[in-house]
Amino acid sequence: MDGFSQRYEAALTLAARAHRDQTRKGSDVPYIVHPVHVSVILLRHGLGEDVVVAGLLHDVVEDQDVPLAEIESAFGPAVAEMVAVLTEQKKEGGVPRPWTDRKQESLDTLLTASDEALAVKAADVTHNSRGLVQQLHEAGPTIWQHYTRGPKESLWYYQRVAAIIGERLGEHPLALELAAAVRELARAIAETEGD
């Protein structure tokens, strides 16, 4: 994808509307900043339009209950499949599911996910890791009060994601960028936990 397209515009509009009342954890930054960054990372690595569009939409089902059928109808089955792979089932029967169960299920799904879905997850975790590093440098370990889990568990999950993607995508520049971002997060956690 070389730049603007009607599909990208439509996906950006859907994501912006879906996330309009959501902010990034522990800040007043509008949530839409995250999926836009994910899509930019994917664009920078030369991935196709379906992957970039999935990057914009990767959280709308999980966080905002946008029906997957709506995504498939508007953007096609390939985009819907990537979004489905990256969507955690946060509740079961209206009851929140345990964090460890959700994260292990997510990791298990990555073992057989398409390379395209792995690319979206890599861009997602790359941006999230960088965001955590920035928050740690600005506010220190108090940031963890805004998260479901603390630094140890969060780092464990991101390291496992990076390991799986590294095994699956090898030396792809996106996998290498993800690994570097997670190493930077590990350093930032070690530095701030030592205070």
Among the options 50, 62, 105, 108, which is catalytic? 62
The active-site residue, picked from 2, 21, 28, 63, is 63
Can you say whether the dihedral through the CA atoms of 113, 96, 101, 147 is positive or negative? positive
Q: What is the DSSP letter of 76?
A: -
- H or E stretch at 108: helix 99-110
62 has catalytic annotation: yes
Cα distance between residue 11 and residue 79, in whole Å = 10
Let me know the angle formed at the C-alpha of 31 by 25 and 34, rounded to the nearest 5 degrees: 100
Specify whether 63 is catalytic.
Answer: yes
Structure-derived torsion over alpha carbons of residues 81, 158, 160, 162, reported in degrees to the nearest 10: 70
Residues known to be catalytic: 62-63
